Structure 1
Amino acid sequence: MSNDYYLNNPLVHKDRRLAKSNNEWAQSFECSDMRPLIICRGPIRKEAMDVFEEMGIEHYGILLSEKDSIVYQNALAPELRQLTDPQRVHRVPDYTGADKEERNVRIQQIISIAKENGYNSIFTGYGFMAEDETMVAAMEDAGLNFIGPCSKTVHDAGLKDEAKRTALKVGVSVTPGIDNATAITLVKKHSDEKALLALAKKEHLVLDQALFDDAESLVEKADVVLTAGHKKGIDLYTIEELQETIREQVIVMSHNYPENRIRLKCIGGGGGKGQRILPNPNTLEGEVESQIAQVAAQAPSLVLEILNEVKATGLGDNKNILIELNIETTRHQEIQVIGNGQWSLALGGRDCSLQMHEQKLLEVSVTTEELETALTEAVKAGRDVEAKVLKQDLKTLHAMEKESETFGEAVGLDSVSTFECIVDRDKHFFMEMNTRIQVEHRVTELCYALRFVNPEDETDFFIVESLVEAMVLLAAHGPRLPKPERIKRNNASVEARLNATNQALAPHAGGIIEHWSDAREGEIRDDQGISLHNPDTDVFMKYHLAGAYDSNIALLLTVGKDRLGSYQGLAEVLRKTELTGKDLSTNLEFHYGLVNWFLGNNINARPTTRFIVPYLTAVGLLKQKANNLDLNFAYEQVCNKAMAAVKDEDAKSALLDVLTRKQLLLVRPLENLLAEPHVLAGWLSLNQKYFELNAKGEIIWVENPVKVLSEAYHFLNMNFNADNPAASMIWDHDHEVLSQALNFYAELENILEISNYAELCKALVKKKSPVDTIESAQWLAIQSAHLGYQAGNEILSLLPFIGIQTQFFDLKVNEDLSVHIPESLFDKELQVQMAKVLVPPPTAKSDEILAPTGGMFYSCEAPGMPPLVKEGAHFEAGQPLYIIEVMKMFNKVKAPFSGTVDKVLVEDDGAIISKGQVLFKITPDEKAVVESPDVISARIEAQTAEFLDSIILSASLTAK
């Protein structure tokens, strides 16, 4: 339906809001008496504020933490430009607390703030304590209306072990694995029912006796005892005992699934936190038993990392960790599901496979309408293999949607949640349900709206387009809401997460955004108000990316009639976005390159979760090759080769003049592409159809290089605009030359009735015009103009030369839509090496180790444990030296070489460190060999000279 329909139909509330509806039944679901306290941050906080106001909810407040406050050194928090009443802005030290005890203090503090300030409901969005059963239960007990799934649903669906057991009971397929490691650990210590009961008596535990008696196995009975222990706040096993159990179970699973890696996942993790993947045994040395033992030996350390990351090391914390099969060819898909406790409804899917370190980067809608459109086009075009894949995807989508509704009803889902699956070819497995609205929820709501119909009168209805609004409606009127029907808004949508990361996608904290261009037509930008200007001066207000929380800056979304349209829209948004600042590093260029990679290969490609790191490695290889080429020297060589092909001195002089005047026209866009490897990757992907190799291995353009050059300026957002700074666009005299060339070829193609560039070149080397309307003198002038417009264009071949030399084009989409990734791109050493090419580490003296980024320093794996390295200790290359927490993720930093620690320069764990800070004074085992400038220069000159052998001059030029 069109927007006009929503605006003009009297039965549909305008602006998607019930408060403006004209019918009595719809108005009975009005929510203006809700007074919510928003205790989340980021884009969802600003979105909630906007939705609440449009719903007529005037009394709401927001919670800021002290960590939030350091973000706004130069300006107010963006939300405070909208919420100007200081009585509705509340502050706490942080949102969750460092451990269980502090978390409980924070919960009570939030309840007090709500009670003292007249709030009757709580909105947690998609972060912090949105899935914390303890917190939700505390809010409910305090009489506050929790806008989200109730505590029972959070328990039954949110705890990953409980969710898997429920899924099995209702016939939902699950990932193979072990979901009761803590119960197994307890049974190892207390090996029969009598021993478990004795333990419960000794610790004065309050058992659910009926549940204990009904449990069919000893391990299930142990689970009941563990639950009682959690409620009392005591541990019935040690972390060391749990680590040993998991080590043993990894051995068992590795024997059962020798070809797969194993994933360890905390039951309370989320958003990429609390997960680690063990290496594949066959990548290690030795016989099979030895390989498996080496893998299992890594598990205890990773268990500790996981528990630390999700802050589950305290007494009474549920420390259960799932041991799951890691499906190697997996695609990560999820179904948006909504319910009121009685009914559940699926709202289509999202493909979230494009991720790194479990952090999603690009999220794409998966809808029945879009798949049917793609299937129809594939059948029509005769792409039978692709059509078969799309048909299976449609079948899988419907199966996942049905299972999500079944599971939602089984756990009494009474709000919005996400049913997450992994898809492996024609199979799919349920992973977990996230009992909260997710970051990527807009991908779904841009495709589907909800139509609620009066059961007594089918002409009486209202439509909801916002999932946040749906959550409020369910919190206020859940049992009364009839099961809605989903109605289509758009066939496809896509979301790019704009993050504060460097070119290797590692978090980059501390930058300041000083300018951000306004959102363009077709761009949906959720940025918590960062890009809003000062309402009085219309000046952009600086924003500090402090890094206390996650690295997300904004969510950029577009829609389309199909996936191609949504990708093209996103590419255009990214092309025009200007984002600059001090010490600012984002993944904007990465997204621009990635989206264009799909546009240049196949937007229906089915990448797996393993795609991004090899892709980054391929981009690193492009950068490495570009670093070893001298662009100006290459252009000089092209000119020399062109001059040598011309014998007439007057012609040679004229050609030299043309080549000199065209140098900056040709070199400037190439300089920009060589400087930005992600942008170069996108350009190569889009333009690979415009060139080919002949039998000699020489690069031949099948499209007119003049058009390629013009499109390169457009691709780089360097189009001519008299109002723009000269540095950011094509220069006016170059623009004039390029425009003349484009007009010349457009007119010539029209006169000769030749659009194919190769055919045009063949015609232009003939002595006589192929059409009688062009006389000999005019034909010579046309040939001369063609020679001038093509002169020097061979330098453009430097770009495909880099792609060919690095085998970038071997990373491609297969006929069955799977992605072919060259085996070399999975090499761990190469991946690490190329990450350093993309982001060279800070320059250090030979006796220093520097911080690669800002963050929080930890010397050991957990409080009370010995440091990873001590002063005087020897370390080997690859050995962990310390842990750095950057934007909520914990990263072990490994030694780049072997040596001895002379002095540790960071005294306290939890200390804030900055990029380039000296952390250790060391004595390396071997002195580093540094290349001399002469050696570097000789290498660059030699590799640049190699480029000459890969190109041929234009047909008209060689004919001269």
Structure 2
Amino acid sequence: MSNEHYLHNPLIHSDRQLGRRSSPWVSQFDCTHIRPLIICRGPIRKEAIDVFREMGIRHIGILLSEKDSIVYQNALAPELRVMPDPERVHRVPDYTGVNKEERDQRIQQIIGIARDNGYNAIFAGYGFMAEDETMVAAMETAGLNFIGPCSRTVHDAGLKDEAKRTALKTGVSVTPGIDNATALTLLKRHPDHAALKALIESEGLPLDPANLDEDLEAAADQVLAASYSKGVDLYTVDELSETVTEAVLRMSEDYPSNRVRLKAISGGGGKGQRILGIGEAERAGEMVREILNEVKTTGVGDNKNVLVELNIETTRHQEIQVIGNGQWSMSLGGRDCSLQMHEQKLLEVSVTLESLHLALEEAKAQGKTTEAAVLEQDIHTLSQMEDEAARFGEAVGLDSVSTFECIVDRDKHFFMEMNTRIQVEHRVTELCYALRFANPENSEDHFIVESLVEAMVLLAAHGPRLPKPHRVPRHNDSVEARLNATNQALQPSAGGVIEYWSDAIDGEIRDDQGISLHNPDTDVFMKYTLAGAYDSNIALLLTVGNTRLECYQGMAETIRQTQMRGKDLATNLEFHYGLVNWFLGQNINARPTTRFIVPYLTAVGELKREAQNIDLEHAWRQLSAREIEGAKGANGGGIEGSDDASLALTLDLKHTLLLRPLQILLDQPHLLSGWLSIHRDSYTMINGHVSWNENPMELLADIYHYLNMDLVSGAPAAGMIWEHDHDILSDAQAFYARLDAILPAEDWLAMQTLLSEDHAPEGVALSEEEWAAVQSAHRGYQSGCSILSVLPAIAETTAYFSLAVNDDLTIDIPERLNDAELQSAMAKVLVPPPLAKSDEIIAASGGMFYGRETPDSPLYVEKGDHFDAGDPLYIVEVMKMFNKVYAPFAGTVDEVLVEGDGMIISKGQPVFRITPDEKIVVESPEEIAARRRAATARYLEII
């Protein structure tokens, strides 16, 4: 988190040090006695440090993983810059351990650190063990105050199977499926109460057989819970996989047009989930092993339950922020998290009744009846979800903050799960609502809480005594973009060094775990290495506004001015710029589903495929020659040599002015996507040719501004417009500003018509010589501008604008963009695979290498094995996620070049030496040049 833009942000209130207030009622909720140990990392760790200090809490410690120690040279982690006491930094091998045994060891180590160093509270944020019931219970048993939901809530709400059962009991709508695969598996072996009682006796389980539930499946769950407590397995993964496969087959028969989702009960943040395509039931067993391995529940005695759920295909992912003290529970509005990929959220938008009502009024005023009907339904749905969330919170005894997650399908919604922790996107909510705690005997005696982290501390310290607060609106809307270490296809990109990051601008709220803090002595930005061991998130960028439109505009401006440079650095900053501008150009009230991002990326890939085939220099030469020839023709072939030379000189002077920003757009497809989106009405296709509806010189000025290339004194020349180009552009803008003032033209088309006339319009006091000079200047400023038409020509060629928002706010996704082969091909266009020799397969990304499904599974391939295209070759763990890598072609393994599982590999590193079944053909430079010239010629016909 940027310290300057958090501690001094006017959005942050001044009531945190409650003890300094004069009221005895308020002062009783002082929290300075809390001495927390922070056992999480990332932006939430820095945020917690800041909030705790503002509350007057001074005895603060953090865990620091050895895997985190490489990210900040000479100081280990950014947060250490604000941790003056080195004795408050406690080093551990990693935060959670790789299996149950190591996880238990880490829990005991944390308890020992707390006891030895005077900590009385634990803050786990939104990472690692924040939702681990065993960990929370251990902290409670040790007498430590866990700042978060208690172990009972974590069990009843955090475990996905228990949460689903609670939801059914409290009248909350849930998705079809099964939540007790392990119980059903156990009952195959022990099919009745007598068999279960015998099992209790034979295994010596800590459970009285007389207390078994009358319901057989519930009894099986009791036996399983006892087995987890003792640390024994009563079923095998193979048996569980068989049960899950049977459930998938049944669901496929009942819902033949839907896919099926598998979820480990202890998963979260995208981990431990897989979607089985239609007709892929036979892969269920493989998927079960993958997700259990991913959430590290493959050990003896681990709860390996897997939920089998219907995948709602038109899903919008919405969640409700909930808070409670164990007695009362209330909601704080919603967040739309549908813009996600690989179950990882990208752009999160607030959903509040205040905002929806404003949007509804505007839609009605504009006569958008269909859109208004959708907004009215959304108001109804949000109200229902908020009510269900509050009731569910009370049912599970929620005594902190949690998130009630739902999937929304038009006028229906289904409870998905409750995350019993603070969310990464919690700031989206706290920027919209504050909490007003008032004295029950005097409502004027009150205090305001605007931070959910602060609310968690208050609830941990004084929960039962806290009265139910009122929610106070702060802003109608907020939006958060997750800045991640991913490449242009949104694939995790481990490694890289941030060498420079521009300061946050006014209105930007940046949570960046302290990376942006400068050296306090030299004011120099300090380099930061992105480690691949943990989550890919670098920072959270937030904006607020009175409307969603203001939020999106603020986010676009924030990203426009953000500059980040580094070595081997790949982020999704450009993706966010393109995406935010796509919505600004379409409709910011659009209702994307969770399946939107991949088709969108595919469309962007199509833009790049076309753009990289255009030889801009060749196009410029051809257009310049055409323009000079056209000028001769316009003068009956009698243009003087001096005029010919003058036009040639003018075109030469405008060469870099026009081509520099154009080339950037052609090279950066996400930037091109955004610019096209906000300018889709700037042109019209007439008889197959581009006709501009706006002055091309104004559009050119907009391109420079859009690319943050405005002239700035002292800025590097490589990143801004060059001075001689700026002079030409400024002169052109001043010239057309004067024309706008004297010519009676309503728009650009009318202006062009007037300027084509032989005489000045009636009433315009210009002599024939002056009018001729005006026309000459106009021709000079417009010369060469036809090259700009290459941008809309690309959009037309790829049918880019067929991806559009409908009147009912749904998004029309053309069928081609859902084609799996095209999606895969365009991902490779966005991020071409590393160059490889024809006799090797190299790593597409860095991370940790695994050659098998699980530690007990056979290797995917060994020396001498033949593989077919599409066969799995290895797994790379990067940024928490396990990514299976498949063979791009058929061949035979001659040698495995990685020593074994757990080895760190880097992008481009040879993994296998192979002999391909067919020789790979690589285009020569001459063939590439010829192909580009041919493609450019086709575009010249449109231009």
Give the structure-2-normalised TM-score. Answer: 0.97
Q: Write the letter of the residue equivalent to 2:639.
A: E
Among candidates 910, 916, 931, match of residue 924 of structure 1:
916
Offset from partner CA, 1:104-130 (integer Å, 9 cap, x none)? 111000000000111001000000100
> Does residue 1:712 correspond to 2:703, yes or no?
yes
The answer to whether the 8 A contact 1:422-1:429 is kept is yes
Whole-Å separation in 1 of the counterparts to 2:661 and 2:13? 50
Cα deviation, residue 870, structure 1: 1.2
For 1:689, what is the secondary structure of its paired residue? coil
The answer to whether the 8 A contact 1:211-1:224 is kept is no
Find the counterpart in structure 2 of residue 419 from structure 1: 404
Find the counterpart in structure 2 of residue 288 from structure 1: none
Find the counterpart in structure 2 of residue 410 from structure 1: 395
The answer to whether the 8 A contact 1:278-1:298 is kept is yes
The 3 A distance-change label for structure 1 pair 447 and 233 is same
Find the counterpart in structure 2 of residue 744 from structure 1: 735
For 2:40, what is the secondary structure of its paired residue? coil
> Does residue 1:396 correspond to 2:381, yes or no?
yes
Identity %, equivalent residues: 67
Find the counterpart in structure 2 of residue 241 from structure 1: 239
What is the correspondence of 1:46-125 to structure 2 with a 5 Å cutoff?
Answer: 46-125=46-125
Cα deviation, residue 197, structure 1: 1.1
> Does residue 1:801 correspond to 2:793, yes or no?
yes
Cα deviation, residue 638, structure 1: 1.3
The answer to whether the 8 A contact 1:874-1:898 is kept is yes
The answer to whether the 8 A contact 1:810-1:821 is kept is yes
Find the counterpart in structure 1 of residue 477 from structure 2: 492
Whole-Å separation in 2 of the counterparts to 1:945 and 1:380? 48
Find the counterpart in structure 1 of residue 284 from structure 2: 299
Whole-Å separation in 1 of the counterparts to 2:616 and 2:13? 60
Cα deviation, residue 354, structure 1: 0.5
Cα deviation, residue 72, structure 1: 2.1
Find the counterpart in structure 2 of residue 542 from structure 1: 527
The answer to whether the 8 A contact 2:317-2:408 is kept is yes
For 2:532, what is the secondary structure of its paired residue? coil
Contiguous gaps of at least 5 residues in structure 1: 1-6, 282-294, 952-960
What is the correspondence of 1:113-152 to structure 2 with a 5 Å cutoff?
Answer: 113-152=113-152
Whole-Å separation in 2 of the counterparts to 1:744 and 1:157? 66
The answer to whether the 8 A contact 2:694-2:747 is kept is yes
Cα deviation, residue 76, structure 1: 4.2
> Does residue 1:192 correspond to 2:192, yes or no?
yes
> Does residue 1:649 correspond to 2:639, yes or no?
yes
For 1:277, what is the secondary structure of its paired residue? strand
Whole-Å separation in 1 of the counterparts to 2:539 and 2:210? 49
Whole-Å separation in 2 of the counterparts to 1:465 and 1:680? 38
The answer to whether the 8 A contact 1:850-1:916 is kept is yes
The answer to whether the 8 A contact 2:485-2:536 is kept is yes
For 2:436, what is the secondary structure of its paired residue? strand
Q: Write the letter of the residue equivalent to 1:230.
A: Y
What is the correspondence of 1:749-828 to structure 2 with a 5 Å cutoff?
Answer: 749-772=740-763, 773-828=765-820
Find the counterpart in structure 2 of residue 483 from structure 1: 468
Offset from partner CA, 1:483-512 (integer Å, 9 cap, x none)? 000001111000000011111111111101
For 1:649, what is the secondary structure of its paired residue? coil
For 1:769, what is the secondary structure of its paired residue? coil
Q: Write the letter of the residue equivalent to 1:413.
A: L
The 3 A distance-change label for structure 1 pair 726 and 454 is same
Whole-Å separation in 2 of the counterparts to 1:516 and 1:402? 43
Find the counterpart in structure 1 of residue 3 from structure 2: none
Among candidates 574, 577, 580, match of residue 565 of structure 2:
580
Whole-Å separation in 2 of the counterparts to 1:17 and 1:808? 54
The answer to whether the 8 A contact 2:70-2:76 is kept is no
> Does residue 1:337 correspond to 2:322, yes or no?
yes
Find the counterpart in structure 2 of residue 734 from structure 1: 725
Find the counterpart in structure 1 of residue 253 from structure 2: 255
The 3 A distance-change label for structure 1 pair 895 and 844 is same
For 2:106, what is the secondary structure of its paired residue? helix
Find the counterpart in structure 1 of residue 541 from structure 2: 556
The answer to whether the 8 A contact 1:13-1:462 is kept is no
The 3 A distance-change label for structure 1 pair 208 and 639 is farther
> Does residue 1:871 correspond to 2:863, yes or no?
yes
For 1:688, what is the secondary structure of its paired residue? coil
Cα deviation, residue 333, structure 1: 0.4
For 1:370, what is the secondary structure of its paired residue? helix
Whole-Å separation in 2 of the counterparts to 1:530 and 1:930? 42
For 2:680, what is the secondary structure of its paired residue? helix
Offset from partner CA, 1:564-587 (integer Å, 9 cap, x none)? 000100101100111111111111
Whole-Å separation in 2 of the counterparts to 1:93 and 1:921? 34
Find the counterpart in structure 2 of residue 322 from structure 1: 307
- RMSD of aligned alpha carbons: 1.2
Find the counterpart in structure 1 of residue 262 from structure 2: 264
Offset from partner CA, 1:829-862 (integer Å, 9 cap, x none)? 1111111111111111100000111100001001
Whole-Å separation in 2 of the counterparts to 1:885 and 1:630? 39
Whole-Å separation in 2 of the counterparts to 1:507 and 1:755? 50
For 2:517, what is the secondary structure of its paired residue? coil
Give the structure-1-normalised TM-score. Answer: 0.95
Whole-Å separation in 2 of the counterparts to 1:712 and 1:119? 55
Q: Write the letter of the residue equivalent to 2:274.
A: R
For 2:339, what is the secondary structure of its paired residue? strand
The 3 A distance-change label for structure 1 pair 211 and 384 is farther
The answer to whether the 8 A contact 1:75-1:541 is kept is no
Whole-Å separation in 2 of the counterparts to 1:817 and 1:743? 40
The answer to whether the 8 A contact 1:510-1:545 is kept is yes
Q: Write the letter of the residue equivalent to 2:767.
A: E
Find the counterpart in structure 1 of residue 352 from structure 2: 367
Q: Write the letter of the residue equivalent to 1:384.
A: T
The answer to whether the 8 A contact 2:866-2:891 is kept is yes
Offset from partner CA, 1:630-652 (integer Å, 9 cap, x none)? 00111112112211211242343
Offset from partner CA, 1:140-197 (integer Å, 9 cap, x none)? 0000000000000000000000000000001000011111111110111111111111
What is the correspondence of 1:370-769 to structure 2 with a 5 Å cutoff?
Answer: 370-647=355-632, 648-650=638-640, 651-694=643-686, 696-769=687-760
Find the counterpart in structure 1 of residue 37 from structure 2: 37
Cα deviation, residue 932, structure 1: 2.4
The answer to whether the 8 A contact 2:320-2:333 is kept is yes
Whole-Å separation in 2 of the counterparts to 1:78 and 1:682? 33
Q: Write the letter of the residue equivalent to 1:327.
A: I
The 3 A distance-change label for structure 1 pair 58 and 208 is farther
For 1:645, what is the secondary structure of its paired residue? helix
The answer to whether the 8 A contact 2:628-2:647 is kept is yes
Contiguous gaps of at least 5 residues in structure 2: 1-6, 633-637
Whole-Å separation in 2 of the counterparts to 1:569 and 1:476? 37
For 2:654, what is the secondary structure of its paired residue? helix
Whole-Å separation in 1 of the counterparts to 2:372 and 2:738? 41
Whole-Å separation in 1 of the counterparts to 2:122 and 2:210? 34
The answer to whether the 8 A contact 2:200-2:209 is kept is no
Whole-Å separation in 1 of the counterparts to 2:366 and 2:324? 40
Q: Write the letter of the residue equivalent to 1:96.
A: T
The answer to whether the 8 A contact 1:307-1:319 is kept is yes
Cα deviation, residue 943, structure 1: 0.9
The answer to whether the 8 A contact 1:74-1:542 is kept is no
For 1:49, what is the secondary structure of its paired residue? helix
Whole-Å separation in 2 of the counterparts to 1:189 and 1:154? 30
Among candidates 331, 337, 342, match of residue 346 of structure 1:
331
The 3 A distance-change label for structure 1 pair 601 and 859 is same
Q: Write the letter of the residue equivalent to 2:916.
A: P
Among candidates 832, 835, 843, match of residue 843 of structure 1:
835
Cα deviation, residue 211, structure 1: 5.6
Find the counterpart in structure 1 of residue 227 from structure 2: 229
Q: Write the letter of the residue equivalent to 1:477.
A: H
The 3 A distance-change label for structure 1 pair 733 and 88 is same
Q: Write the letter of the residue equivalent to 1:21.
A: R
